[in-house]
Structure 1
Amino acid sequence: MKRLRIAVVTPRYAISGVPLAQWRLAAALAARGHRVDLIIGRCDTDLRVPDAPGVAVHVLDRAQTRGMFAPLVRYLRRERPDAVFSAEDHLNTFVLLAAIVARSRVRISGSSRVTPFDTYSNRAFTKKWVLKQLARSVAWRADALTCVSRDMVAQYAEVFGTTRHACVYNIVDQPAARARATEPVEDGWFVDRSVPLVVAAGTLAPWKGFDDLIAAAAILRDRGRMVRLVILGEGSSRAALEAQVAAAGLADRVRLPGRVSNPLKYFANADVFALSSHVEGLPNVLVEAMLCGCTPVATDCPTGPREVLGGGRYGYLVPVADPQALADGIAAALDRPIAPDMLAQAVEPFEESAVIARHFALLKLDAS
């Protein structure tokens, strides 16, 4: 196999979403023998980027994405990598601009991770309109433009009129993930399986819809259904969510234990995974839960859940911001869990080798 010099770039590191997906990509590429640089704009102060064999981590300590531009120009001139994998629209634009300024011949793949309706605007001279013009002006330099869901590709075509974007999923299914799912859990709620357990995970923020999920837990209680709910994660909505739990008298049924280093072992020991988001790019955490054998219930939000769940074939889809429907979905999932072989079928497109092969084909990279 030809050994390539590859840079994987992300604006920040956190134990969620885009940063975690980029770390996984870097680790997978290094495991295949490539020389990999993981370039990170900034790292949350309470976190440390995990080691991965063969991955050199470079944290630039740049609070804003635009601050990464000059270091990226210097990196491209000095290291001359064969390929760059960038993620998130603003960073993609600065990576492409850096390659133009550096006169680099590196092959670049820019991945979009959130709906373009939140990033760009057709309203002239607004910030989002300026960002759209800038993105359009440097797009020619990209060898591949990708989105993490097919629905998002359609959104980019709508916003830009035409698009070169192609769908490439994030890596979720990999040997390390399966090994982490088998680790023991000491939390009593996950050890005592006599009470049905629903788990959720993500940043505690309004758009995640955890208030709807807590309301659904109250509805299930009022129906006489004994269910426990654990929401893993941290964020700005913690105080409001804890107040909601207290006001609803759910302290004995709902817990928010905070951020955990290995959510997969919790998924593997729960009955149902609930995704209550109002919007997503493509929810990696939903795929992770399915990988762990957890029956999924997800809001039919843009974009990703309907695609991941095969329109309802691999899990239960419910309307957005509808606690009653969410409660119904959780009850249905507990009564009629999805068979393990169906969940395994659903996660096949997120397998490590399949995702890397797709990336290399789009970039026309020879890894033979």
Structure 2
Amino acid sequence: MPADHILTYALAMRGGVEAALGRMLQGWLDQDRRVTLVLGDDDGQFQGGVPHGVDMVTLGHQRYGGLCTALPGLIEQARPDVIFCPGNHYTAMAAWTRLRLAGACPPIVAKMSNAVDRGDQAGWMAWGQRQWLAGHRHFLDALVAMTPATAREAQGATGLSVAVIPNPPSVLPGFASNRPPVASRRILGVGRLEPQKRWDRLITAMTHLPEDIGLTILGEGSLRPALTAQIEILGLSHRVSLPGHSADAPGAMAAAPVVALASDYEGVPGVLREALAVGTPVVTTDSSPAVYEIVTDPTLGTIVPRQDVHALAAALRHWLDPVAPRPDPVPQPGQDSAERYLALFDSIVAARGRQAPIWSEPERMPSAEIGLGARAVAVARRLALRPAL
């Protein structure tokens, strides 16, 4: 019994999680599966990556609570065979859907898109994060991680059996591995201007580097005013630029001498894979176990402790040396990711089909249980919005 109809959802097609989701959809359509995508709104830089043939449902807003509330009813109307939750930021919605639909809820498969241990949490927030992850086994049918190391962490935190399926690869331009060295001494960062990414740390590192070294950060987000103010206060306006989103980020990575990522936490950072795929070395914080699975050799780049700005600056200085060799391009994994997800979906739907029909009359939970569940989901939502689990 195959998963003929897959429903997935997101607030908007912006960010790495949503970009990876867009790349997955075409593979599912190519296998003659019906795909429904529920969006808060269609305003996102990766909206163009949604392939023709996907059934779109758009709510017209990006309110987390609004999409969370609407999702169970939309699922009842669409009657998919399986629900795909594309990342940790969206698992509170999956929990609420399971709670509201109970026995009528289709199987839910989620992807672990961030590290279990977040670098921005301490005290009760870190404890709450662990409790929330431990509860995932009560509303998910399967969990997917993108690398073996992240799968081991996810299994330990959730108690679920975790499949390893990489994200589908980005479409990148081809470049000869023996092309001439890049003459520019300008560091490139690519990613959302949000707290998780810690661009403020990278900007601070610029004060420890020579005047002829510049920095360009491609991306947009809520921290633009704060980062602009930091650049001005540090007197770096002539060296640091924030041009916003770029339609040719891969080309910019290929032309850069080094790509830097200074995040507090990540899942499996696609920007590192993309940079290495075009032969550009990387400097990254130890924001996830996955960075060690990507930067597997000192010839590819340097991994530094999250809080060590001096180590970050030293690593950048090393790779900006004109004699530093560029690595050979590293192929991205995930060419068969869509097929592997479908095999997982099919196995789960087949197992469910042997037990009971998905769309039998729902067993509604007692009101006391609904109230308790709603409070748990509310806590999870607060964790998710800081800014992502």
What is the TM-score with the length of structure 1 in the denominator?
0.76
Alpha-carbon offset, residue 232 of structure 1 = 1.0
Rounded to whole Å, the distance in 1 between the matches of 2:274 and 2:237 is: 27
Alpha-carbon offset, residue 332 of structure 1 = 2.6
Alpha-carbon offset, residue 206 of structure 1 = 3.2
- The verdict on how the C-alpha distance between 1:34 and 1:360 changes in structure 2, with shifts beyond 3 A counting, is closer
- The verdict on how the C-alpha distance between 1:294 and 1:79 changes in structure 2, with shifts beyond 3 A counting, is same
- The verdict on how the C-alpha distance between 1:235 and 1:167 changes in structure 2, with shifts beyond 3 A counting, is same
* Contact in 2 for aligned 1:121/1:129 (Cα 8 Å): no
Q: 1:199 matched to which residue of 2?
A: 188
Rounded to whole Å, the distance in 2 between the matches of 1:323 and 1:299 is: 10
Alpha-carbon offset, residue 319 of structure 1 = 1.7
Alpha-carbon offset, residue 95 of structure 1 = 4.3
Q: Does 1:57 align with 2:59?
A: no
Mapping for residues 39-54 of structure 1, pairs under 5 Å: 39-44=38-43, 49-50=47-48, 51-54=50-53
* Contact in 2 for aligned 1:315/1:338 (Cα 8 Å): no
Q: 2:146 matched to which residue of 1?
A: 148
After superposition, the C-alpha distances for 1:337-357 in whole angstroms (9 at most, x for unaligned) are 44224x22xx2x2x332x223
Rounded to whole Å, the distance in 1 between the matches of 2:123 and 2:183 is: 54
Q: Which one of the candidate residues 313, 332, 340 is aligned to 2:328?
A: 340
Alpha-carbon offset, residue 274 of structure 1 = 0.6
Q: Does 1:178 align with 2:179?
A: no
Q: 2:8 matched to which residue of 1?
A: 8
Rounded to whole Å, the distance in 2 between the matches of 1:133 and 1:67 is: 25
Number of residue equivalences: 334
Q: Does 1:91 align with 2:100?
A: no
- The verdict on how the C-alpha distance between 1:252 and 1:163 changes in structure 2, with shifts beyond 3 A counting, is same
Q: 1:137 matched to which residue of 2?
A: 138
Gaps of 5+ in 1: 183-192
* 1:198 counterpart SS class: strand
Q: Does 1:30 align with 2:25?
A: no
* Contact in 2 for aligned 1:121/1:132 (Cα 8 Å): no
Q: Does 1:363 align with 2:351?
A: no
Q: Which one of the candidate residues 162, 166, 175 is aligned to 1:169?
A: 166
* 2:217 counterpart SS class: strand
After superposition, the C-alpha distances for 1:292-348 in whole angstroms (9 at most, x for unaligned) are 33221111122432222126463221221322211222233234344224x22xx2x
Q: 1:301 matched to which residue of 2?
A: 287
What is the TM-score with the length of structure 2 in the denominator?
0.73
Alpha-carbon offset, residue 365 of structure 1 = 5.1
Rounded to whole Å, the distance in 2 between the matches of 1:252 and 1:122 is: 40
Q: Which has the higher contact order (CA 8 A, sep 6+)?
A: 2
> Percent identity over the alignment?
26
Mapping for residues 309-328 of structure 1, pairs under 5 Å: 309-310=295-296, 312=298, 314-328=300-314
Q: Does 1:229 align with 2:211?
A: no
* 2:314 counterpart SS class: helix
* 1:282 counterpart SS class: coil
* 2:47 counterpart SS class: coil
* Contact in 2 for aligned 1:146/1:166 (Cα 8 Å): yes
More deviation, 227-236/75-84 = 75-84
- The verdict on how the C-alpha distance between 1:34 and 1:311 changes in structure 2, with shifts beyond 3 A counting, is same
After superposition, the C-alpha distances for 1:160-193 in whole angstroms (9 at most, x for unaligned) are 4x332233222233xxx225x89xxxxxxxxxx6
Gaps of 5+ in 2: 176-181, 349-389
* 2:40 counterpart SS class: strand
* Contact in 1 for aligned 2:28/2:35 (Cα 8 Å): yes
Rounded to whole Å, the distance in 1 between the matches of 2:303 and 2:115 is: 20
Rounded to whole Å, the distance in 2 between the matches of 1:263 and 1:155 is: 31
Rounded to whole Å, the distance in 2 between the matches of 1:52 and 1:234 is: 24
Mapping for residues 218-257 of structure 1, pairs under 5 Å: 218-221=207-210, 226-257=212-243
Rounded to whole Å, the distance in 2 between the matches of 1:331 and 1:95 is: 49
Alpha-carbon offset, residue 273 of structure 1 = 0.7
Rounded to whole Å, the distance in 1 between the matches of 2:257 and 2:123 is: 44
Alpha-carbon offset, residue 199 of structure 1 = 0.7
Letter in 1 for 2:110: G
Letter in 1 for 2:163: A
